[in-house]
Amino acid sequence: MVSGGGTGGHIYPALALIKQVKENEPNSEILYIGTQKGLESKIVPNSGIDFKTINIQGFKRSLSLENFKTIGLFLSSVVKARKMIREFKPDVVLGTGGYVSGAVVFAASLMGIPTVIHEQNSVVGVTNKFLSKFVKKIAISFQDAASQFPSQKVVLTGNPRATEVVNIKPESLGQFGLDSTVPTVLIFGGSRGAEKINRVTVDSLEELVKKPYQTLFVTGRVHFDQIAKEIDVEKLKSKVAILPYISNMPEILANISVIVGRAGATSLAEITALGIPSILIPSPYVTNDHQTKNAKSLVEDHAAELITENELTSEKLMRSLDQLMLDETARKEMANNAKQLGQPDAAENLYKVLVSVIK
């Protein structure tokens, strides 16, 4: 049984792990528990995995009446998770973060079923911090996370999405009206899109269409309609493609020369596994500024460039982008540095941890 929800950063590692389990043990049965509201309700059923939902929400950081409702929902979702566990009878339960995994993994631990959590970030998330007291093993992606967990439970596995992206058959950018032989920059603000990155990219379109490179700009589903209204597609001259979301990201990444994006941990696992140069703009809106810490782990090794959201302007973006896109040697150097940090065996590592806790 697998649970992880809310954003792509929690969901895709879970799916990559499932892929590995199915490869190693084709007869295994898998059930994914998520929420209806999270991105998982779209992504998981589309990938052909059995999917059930429970209703849960996050705590408000300030004292609020909503929190009483949240506690009520948490308790009722633990009860619901227990029922699902009793019916499905999993040998092991994996949580990859997000509130829903809190309820599912907690319920499984109470029932004496072996549990594992996977932490993608270098700064530990709230749900995983809570679950760390109850689970058997804790799989981490950055060594920095180790000291924030009970040390005897920690195993450094990496992020399974790294394995998935290195083993996939690449697909042409022709599906977006672009030319796969031309150097391409991919701009996107994590799995949900980022308003500031979108704004600055829209402001840069006039410049981008003049470049010898092309651009794949992914806005995030909720931002797309508004942006589409503002843009004259004729003016993009097949040099820039704009999309709400890319469902086949692993297949696309092999044809990308540079990424401009947030510093979500799963994106970074992909970037390092494939060795893709990147310009990272960490989200300042996440707990304990963890994306800045994620990004710095690459920047320190000259494997990425960091621009803060405050510093981000169209001029700044275009300057940094040109430095990489117009200089193949600089790109190659950053790509090599990034690849040194990749963990392409992550899915197999995590699979082994799951097997080790099954009685």
Give dist(CA 195, CA 265) in Å, integer. 19
Report the nearest approach of ligand UD1 to the CB of residue 246 (Å). 4
Is 35 annotated among the ligand-binding residues? no
Report the nearest approach of ligand UD1 to the CB of residue 323 (Å). 23
Q: Which is nearer to ligand UD1, 39 or 78 (CB)?
A: 39
Is 102 annotated among the ligand-binding residues? no
Give me the phi and psi of 89, to 5 degrees please.
Answer: 50, 60
| Residue 14 touching ligand UD1 (CB under 6 A) | no
Q: Which is nearer to ligand UD1, 84 or 178 (CB)?
A: 178
Residue 348, number of CB atoms within 10 A of its CB: 16
As to burial, measured by CB atoms within 10 angstroms (0-12 exposed, 13-18 middle, 19+ buried), residue 72 is exposed
Is 9 annotated among the ligand-binding residues? yes
* Encoded amino acid at 174, one letter: G
Show contacts with ligand UD1 in window 100-119 (CB under 6 A): none
Contact string (CB under 6 A) for ligand UD1, positions 244-263, x = contact = -xx--x------------x-
Contact string (CB under 6 A) for ligand UD1, positions 208-227, x = contact = ----------x---------
Q: Which is nearer to ligand UD1, 84 or 125 (CB)?
A: 125
Give dist(CA 246, CA 159) in Å, integer. 20
Show contacts with ligand UD1 in window 153-172 (CB under 6 A): 161
Among 99, 149, 176, 188, binds ligand UD1 (CB under 6 A): 188
Q: From 266, 346, 357, select the one nearest 9 (Cα to Cα).
A: 266
Residue 307, SS3 per DSSP: coil
| Residue 184 touching ligand UD1 (CB under 6 A) | no
| Residue 138 touching ligand UD1 (CB under 6 A) | no
Helix or strand run (H / E) with residue 292? helix 290-299
Among 97, 114, 275, 277, binds ligand UD1 (CB under 6 A): 97
Show contacts with ligand UD1 in window 278-297 (CB under 6 A): 283, 286, 290-291, 294
Output Rg (C-alpha) for the chain, integer angstroms.
Answer: 20
Tokens 């596994």 correspond to: 273
Which DSSP string do the residues of 150-219 spell out, in sequence order? -GGGEEE---THHHHHHTSPP--GGGGT--TTS-EEEEE-TTT--HHHHHHHHHHHHHHTTSSSEEEEE-
Give dist(CA 270, CA 305) in Å, integer. 16
| Residue 8 touching ligand UD1 (CB under 6 A) | yes
Applying CB under 6 A, the residues found at the interface with ligand UD1 are 7-10, 12, 97, 120-121, 161, 188, 190-192, 218, 245-246, 249, 262, 264-267, 270, 283, 286, 290-291, 294
In the annotated binding site for UDP-N-acetyl-alpha-D-glucosamine, the residues are 7-9, 121, 191, 246, 291
